[in-house]
Each structure stands twice: as structure tokens, then as C-alpha cells.
């Protein structure tokens, strides 16, 4: 379902301004190359690495206007998928830039973060309204990865119960645990929702209001916790699945300004895509993500939002929020 391009300017303005506040630097924690590994399934097979090597370093979409905030690499089918804030449709972006609708559903208002769940043949979609306009929405779309058919559309915001009449919602990103439980962030409510195997939703954790907090990207670690980025203050939070009240801020050498998408790299590093600094940062930890150090950085030009792990590489997406006529780009980054 299309929305007016003028709304995209509002969304882009938020992304550009939400991360302007600075925080004092803290000493960098010691980190070793033998960092805490990402979940075992993040390790690419040799065939996947070979396929990654054959992919172009840069893919330019054949048209603009759809504004892809989220990107994923479907390794089972060897294809890039993006969401669309402007149209809702999830697209397959081919190597030559041509586009095919992978998921088209009338209830997809704005597909933001997306997650491929290959073991269960599912594509998970954070389904939102236009950021900054009205009350928005927070829903989870679940679709067949193979056919694109809808499996479920879950109203996440409904689980909050009694909220103010003017409450606003924005489902932003989504991840899946080893057991199939799905977790999603709501940037405007600063909530993490969870959805079980029967598609029953509940509130996993609601952060206490604090200045600059704006929950965004998240990943699941197989040791039983989530890592969640805050766009507003550049922090990353560790949230134990079995005891969310024990959520804590990961000690970082510096705030991750404009922290947007999070993705596990094949080597176990946590990759943070900044939408304001022109930098992708690989973090590593040797203490179970109580703290983390910077392992490598990859500069880029323009503005990017999220990343995808494709074989041994990280690709980022450039959505061009403020220029609906620009052609979105999926680009491989090089770490230094």
C-alpha cells in the first residue's frame, strides 16, 4: 500500500536527527580475536562463501520510490530481499538490479526490518506505518519464504493493553531465536515484543523511559539473550530472554552514533550499521557481551540503514529517504 513521499522526508529527518546527541567516551574494553561467537548457524558453508564471491559488489535497483529500510540475504535461494517503507511489498533484488515482488500483501503498510528464517521456511516482516505520522502501527507479518503466501499477521501493539489514547507505534526490526520464537522492536514505545510458535504475541520487555532511547535493530544470541541497538543514544543493550528485567547496557569504547541495523557476521562479530556516521562497525566481545571492543570498521558514502550477511561478506542497503527518485543500492562493504 503506497504512502505519500512527503512522509518519507519525516522518516528520514528522524533518522538523521535522532542520533545527534553525544555521550562521553568510556575506556575501550579489552577484546581478543577469540571473541564470543555468534550463533553456530551464522557460520557459512564453503558453498555459500563461493556464491558470495560471485555476487557483484554493488547492486543498483532498477527504480526508486520503494525505499528499502531492511535487507536480508536468503542463502537457501541465493537472493537479496528488501523491505519497502513506501509500498509495503518485499522485493527480491536481482544482481542486475531488476526487481520481483517476493511478498505482496494488502495489510503490509510499510515493511521495515525483515528476517529470513530458513529452517522454518519463513520470512518475518516488521509491519509499520509511516514514522512520525499519526499513531502508526506495530505488526508482525509472517510469510512463506518459498511462495510468499501469508502465514500470519500478528498485532503486536494489541499486547500492550491499556495505553494512552495518543500512544504511537512503529515496528522496526525483527529477529528469530533458535527455537523459532520471534522478537521485534517498537521504536516509539521502546518495547520488545515476542511471538511464540502459535503466533501468540506478548511483551517481552518494556524499557523505562529515558532520554534518547529509540530501540532499533536487534539480534538473538544462542546463549539466550538479545542484543538491541538504540538509535537515539548509540547504546547497545543485552536483554536475557529468561530474565528481561536484568537488561543491561553493553560497555562500549564509544557510542555507536546512529546505530540502526545489527547483524551477525560469519566470523562471530556483531556488525552495527550507522545511518549517520558513514561507518559500519564490527564489534567483538570476550565476556559474553557485557562489554565489547571495536574489531574493524568499514566506511561508506551516503546513508545506509541495515546490513545482511551473505556468505563471508556484509552488504548494506542505501534507501535514499529524502530522494524518492534515487535508485536504492545494495553494497558490499570492506572492513579495515
How do residues 258-283 score in pLDDT, each as one tens digit? Answer: 999 999 999 999 999 999 999 999 99
Nearest CA-CA partner of 67 in 278, 315, 329? 329
Assigned domain for 173 exists: yes
* Per-residue buried b or exposed e for 108-133, using 16+ beta carbons within 10 Å of the residue's own CB: bbbbbbbbbbeeeebbbbbbbbbbbe
**280 by DSSP, 3-state: which?**
strand
Assigned domain for 225 exists: yes
Assigned domain for 90 exists: yes
Looking at residue 147, what is its pLDDT? 97
Assigned domain for 234 exists: yes
pLDDT greater than 80 at residue 50: no
**318 by DSSP, 3-state: which?**
strand
Question: What average pLDDT does the segment 30-59 reach?
Answer: 56
Beta bridge partners of 124: 115, 142
Residues sharing a CB contact under 8 Å with residue 10, sequence separation 6 or more, in sequence order: 130, 131, 132, 133
Higher pLDDT, 142 or 25: 142
Assigned domain for 312 exists: yes
CB 37: neighbour CB atoms within 10 A? 17
Assigned domain for 331 exists: no
Nearest CA-CA partner of 238 in 261, 205, 267, 271? 205
User: How far does the chain reach from its first CA to its final CA, in angstroms?
Assistant: 41
pLDDT digits (tens, 9 = 90+) for 67-90: 999 999 999 999 999 999 999 999
**196 by DSSP, 3-state: which?**
coil
pLDDT digits (tens, 9 = 90+) for 209-268: 888 899 999 999 999 999 999 999 999 999 999 999 999 999 999 999 999 999 999 999
CATH number, domain containing residue 100 = 2.120.10.30
> What 8-state DSSP symbol labels residue 328?
P
Assigned domain for 230 exists: yes
Q: How confident is the model at residue 23 (pLDDT cuts 50, 70, 90)?
A: very low
What would the DSSP string read from start to end of 9-73? HHHHHHHHHTT-------PPPP--SSPPPPPGGGSPPHHHHHHHHHS-SEEE-S--SS----EEE
Nearest CA-CA partner of 83 in 12, 172, 144? 172
pLDDT digits (tens, 9 = 90+) for 173-184: 999 999 999 999
Please tell me the total count of domains within the chain. Answer: 1
Distance CA(45)–CA(99), nearest Å, equals 27
Following CA atoms 292, 318, 108, 198 in sequence, which dihedral angle do they give, to the nearest 10 degrees?
-30
Nearest CA-CA partner of 117 in 52, 41, 36, 50? 41
pLDDT digits (tens, 9 = 90+) for 292-315: 999 999 999 999 999 999 989 999
Q: How confident is the model at residue 53 (pLDDT cuts 50, 70, 90)?
A: low
Distance CA(163)–CA(66), nearest Å, equals 32
Q: How confident is the model at residue 187 (pLDDT cuts 50, 70, 90)?
A: very high
State the average pLDDT for the chain.
87
Q: What distance lies between CA 73 and its chain's CA centroid?
A: 13
Q: How many residues does the chain have?
A: 336
What would the DSSP string read from start to end of 131-188? TTSTTEEEEEEEEETTT--EEEEEESGGGG-S--TT--EEEEEEEE-TTS-EEEEETT
Residues sharing a CB contact under 8 Å with residue 3, sequence separation 6 or more, in sequence order: 85, 86, 109, 110, 130
Looking at residue 52, what is its pLDDT? 53
Q: How confident is the model at residue 16 (pLDDT cuts 50, 70, 90)?
A: very low
Assigned domain for 183 exists: yes
Range of the domain at 231: 5-19+28-324
Phi then psi dihedrals of residue 244, to 5 deg: -60, -25
Distance CA(218)–CA(240), nearest Å, equals 13
Amino acid at each position: 500500500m503506497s504512502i505519500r513521499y512527503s512522509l518519507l522526508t519525516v522518516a528520514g529527518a528522524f533518522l538523521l536527527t535522532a542520533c545527534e546527541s553525544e555521550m562521553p567516551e568510556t575506556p575501550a574494553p579489552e577484546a581478543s580475536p577469540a571473541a564470543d561467537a555468534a550463533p553456530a548457524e551464522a557460520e557459512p558453508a564453503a558453498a555459500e562463501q563461493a556464491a558470495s564471491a560471485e555476487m557483484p559488489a554493488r547492486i543498483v535497483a532498477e527504480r526508486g520510490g520503494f525505499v528499502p529500510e531492511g535487507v536480508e540475504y536468503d542463502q537457501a535461494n541465493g537472493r537479496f530481499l528488501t523491505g519497502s517503507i513506501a509500498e509495503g511489498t518485499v522485493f527480491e533484488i536481482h544482481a542486475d538490479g531488476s526487481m520481483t515482488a517476493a511478498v505482496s500483501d494488502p495489510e503490509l503498510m510499510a515493511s521495515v526490518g525483515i528476517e529470513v528464517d530458513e529452517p522454518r521456511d519463513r520470512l518475518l516482516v516488521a509491519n509499520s506505518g509511516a514514522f512520525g505520522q499519526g499513531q502508526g502501527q506495530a505488526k508482525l507479518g509472517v510469510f512463506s519464504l518459498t511462495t510468499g503466501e501469508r502465514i500470519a499477521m500478528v498485532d503486536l501493539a494489541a499486547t500492550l493493553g491499556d495505553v494512552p489514547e495518543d500512544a504511537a507505534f512503529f515496528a522496526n526490526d525483527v529477529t528469530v531465536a533458535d527455537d523459532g520464537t520471534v522478537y521485534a522492536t517498537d521504536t516509539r514505545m521502546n518495547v520488545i515484543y515476542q511471538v511464540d510458535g502459535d503466533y501468540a504475541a506478548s511483551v517481552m520487555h518494556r524499557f523505562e523511559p529515558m532520554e534518547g532511547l529509540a530501540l532499533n535493530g536487534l539480534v538473538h544470541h544462542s546463549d539466550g539473550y538479545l542484543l538491541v541497538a538504540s538509535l537515539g543514544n548509540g547504546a547497545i543493550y543485552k536483554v536475557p530472554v529468561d530474565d528481561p528485567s536484568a537488561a543491561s547496557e553493553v560497555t562500549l569504547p564509544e557510542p555507536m552514533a546512529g546505530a540502526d541495523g545489527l547483524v551477525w557476521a560469519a566470523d562471530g562479530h556483531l556488525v552495527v550499521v550507522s545511518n549517520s556516521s558513514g561507518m559500519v562497525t564490527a564489534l567483538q566481545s570476550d565476556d559474553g557481551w557485557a562489554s565489547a571492543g571495536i574489531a574493524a570498521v568499514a566506511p561508506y558514502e551516503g546513508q545506509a540503514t541495515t546490513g545482511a550477511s551473505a556468505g563471508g561478506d556484509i552488504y548494506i542497503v542505501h534507501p535514499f529517504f529524502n530522494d524518492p527518485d534515487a535508485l536504492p543500492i545494495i553494497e558490499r562493504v570492506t572492513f579495515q
